[in-house]
Amino acid sequence: MEFPILRQSQPVALLPTHGPQHRLSKSHRKHPNYSVLRIVRCAAEAVKTQAVKTQVASRVASTWKSSFRERYSLGRHVGSGSYGVVHVCTDEETRQKYAVKILPKVRNKQQPQKTMKKLEREVTLMARVSRQSTGITSLIDVHEDKNYVYIVMGLNEGGDLEQLLETYGPFSERATATVMYECLKIISVCHSNGVLLGDIKPANFMLRQRYRDPLKALESERLGEGFLSAIDFGCSQAVGPAPLARRTGTPVYMSPETFRREYHLEADLWSLGMMMYQLIAGRFPFWASVEQCRTRSLEEVMKAVIMEDIPVDYGPWLSVSSEGLSLMQGLLTRDPTQRLTAVEALEHPWFQRHFGGSAGDGQAPASGGRNNIVPLMPASPRGTSSEAGVLRSKSAV
Ligand SMILES: Nc1ncnc2c1ncn2[C@@H]1O[C@H](COP(=O)(O)OP(=O)(O)OP(=O)(O)O)[C@@H](O)[C@H]1O
């Protein structure tokens, strides 16, 4: 990975990072960069001890650029995750807009070296695969200063699939097929490069453009190559012959073997099966509402994932085609050796049923031609994504 060293710039801190002033007042909450202020404050609290300060400072002399503020101006906030905040940023030279994920180098209770290793892994694995698929958010460059790492990447303007679910409700079978086909292509590129995505869920796939009616757009399947973009490589891992043991991801999407701490690439296909179930049914197999999911302990989720039936005798499942049902069940197969791989799933008759010849010969569902889908151009600002809850909350357990 080549990220040349540039000279060090000012850190992003907008407030004193120590002393009583760093507590945020009400007026700070109204500040347009409130989210940045928050992570500045959190990091400031975490770097109190001299030992930690020294460890963090030593990381600045890395291979990452240290000039984010010189090159980019920070724009509106577009999302937050467990650790990072994401803003639009503009390259001052080219005026091109990107997204920047700003991640603190020090997280509460986590060893700074461990955090840095995690950040380096996220960037390395994203770099490994992002140039190989239009369906993976492109990695532009990486910067760091004393307290933060800045991952500059392609800007996705159409919201994530979880936001679509929350706004429009469950997807039609056809819209689900369009999404699933694109996701499988992305997964197959990652897997052929030995990269486990590790946190597959609707919140981690975004529409690159905004559409007036996104579900109609997905149903029309005339969106073109790379309309969907995978984000968040924070849980990704390089996979070799030895099984992985570290449980990472979002519990309700984790595979049975991930809970058993002995898993390979197939774990991603289970998560995708869970996502397919959710897109079609608007709920998870084990609990009816998001609220019910939230109240479950990790042990309860694990028990359900390992043992409970996956019901298909109600509501939308009664009208889903037998091919759709078969794909979902092929992904949600508890024995990973019997589970469909990404390549096998791409050849599943369900895609033939929906897209005719185009899916079977390895092409995307029809792109180009008559296009009655109107992206909203230029993209107007959108609200921030919802955050909390078991659907989004991620754990490394
Ligand atoms: N490239 C992008 N373009 C536009 N918005 C983005 C982009 N990447 C992330 N976002 C927004 O920011 C949110 C948080 O990003 P992301 O999930 O990568 O952060 P994270 O801290 O790793 O979160 P998580 O809790 O899932 O680990 C996303 O849900 C999405 O709404």
Does the beta carbon of 155 sit less than 6 angstroms from any atom of ligand 1? yes
- Based on the fold, state whether residues 351 and 262 are members of the same structural domain: yes
Check whether 19 has a pLDDT greater than 90: no
- Based on the fold, state whether residues 236 and 351 are members of the same structural domain: yes
Helix (H) or strand (E) holding 114: helix 112-130
Residue 316, in any domain of the structure: yes
Segments forming the whole domain that contains residue 129:
67-153
Q: 150-164, 213-227, 287-301 — which one is most confidently predicted on average?
A: 150-164
pLDDT value of residue 254: 96
- Based on the fold, state whether residues 213 and 338 are members of the same structural domain: yes
Nearest CA owner, ligand 1 atom 26:
81
326-335 average pLDDT score: 98
Residue 269, in any domain of the structure: yes
- Based on the fold, state whether residues 139 and 172 are members of the same structural domain: no
- Based on the fold, state whether residues 107 and 162 are members of the same structural domain: no
CATH code of 361's domain: 1.10.510.10
**What average pLDDT does the chain have?**
78
Check whether 8 has a pLDDT greater than 60: no
12-18 average pLDDT score: 27
Atom of ligand 1 nearest to the CA of 159: 31
Does the beta carbon of 395 sit less than 6 angstroms from any atom of ligand 1? no
Helix ranges (H only) for 193-281 are 214-220, 256-259, 266-281
Find the catalytic residue in 141, 145, 160, 199: 199
pLDDT value of residue 111: 81
pTM listed for this prediction: 0.78
Per-residue exposure over 329-367, b if at least 16 CB sit within 10 Å of its own CB, e if not: ebbbbeebeebbbbeebbbbebbebbbeebbeeeebbbe
CA distance 355 to 177: 9
Q: Which residue has the tokens 């757009």?
A: 217
- Based on the fold, state whether residues 94 and 169 are members of the same structural domain: no
Q: Which residue has the tokens 């973009």?
A: 229
Answer yes or no: 199 catalytic. yes
The SS3 assignment for 140 reads: strand
- Based on the fold, state whether residues 339 and 226 are members of the same structural domain: yes
pLDDT value of residue 357: 57
- Based on the fold, state whether residues 104 and 123 are members of the same structural domain: yes
Contact status, residue 197 vs residue 190, Cβ threshold 8 Å: yes
Percentage of the chain exceeding pLDDT 90: 59
Check whether 50 has a pLDDT greater than 60: no
Atom of ligand 1 nearest to the CA of 229: 1
Does the beta carbon of 236 sit less than 6 angstroms from any atom of ligand 1? no
Q: 56-65, 184-193, 287-296, 354-363 — which one is most confidently predicted on average?
A: 184-193
Rounded to two decimals, the ipTM of the complex is 0.96
Nearest CA owner, ligand 1 atom 23:
81
Task: Report the number of distinct structural domains present in the chain.
Answer: 2
Q: What backbone torsions phi and psi does residue 77 show, to the nearest 5 degrees?
A: -80, 130
Examine the fold and report which residue of 120, 153, 186 is the final residue of a domain before the chain moves on.
153
Does the beta carbon of 87 sit less than 6 angstroms from any atom of ligand 1? no
Cβ-proximal residues to 284 (8 Å cutoff; 6+ apart), any chain: 252, 274, 277, 278, 293
111-126 average pLDDT score: 91
Atom of ligand 1 nearest to the CA of 86: 12
- Based on the fold, state whether residues 167 and 133 are members of the same structural domain: no
The SS3 assignment for 327 reads: helix
Q: Would you tell me how many other CB atoms lie within 10 Å of the CB of residue 76?
A: 12
pLDDT value of residue 63: 58
**101: annotated binding-site residue?**
yes
CATH code of 147's domain: 3.30.200.20
Does the beta carbon of 234 sit less than 6 angstroms from any atom of ligand 1? yes
More confident residue, 226 or 143: 143
- Based on the fold, state whether residues 315 and 367 are members of the same structural domain: yes
- Based on the fold, state whether residues 348 and 238 are members of the same structural domain: yes
Check whether 83 has a pLDDT greater than 70: yes
Q: How far is the CA of 241 from the centre of ligand 1 (A)?
A: 30
CA distance 16 to 307: 52
Does the beta carbon of 122 sit less than 6 angstroms from any atom of ligand 1? no
Helix (H) or strand (E) holding 230: strand 228-230
pLDDT value of residue 64: 72
Check whether 326 has a pLDDT greater than 80: yes
Examine the fold and report which residue of 153, 175, 200 is the final residue of a domain before the chain moves on.
153
More confident residue, 316 or 293: 316
- Based on the fold, state whether residues 182 and 214 are members of the same structural domain: yes
Examine the fold and report which residue of 96, 127, 153 is the final residue of a domain before the chain moves on.
153
Q: How far is the CA of 312 from the centre of ligand 1 (A)?
A: 32
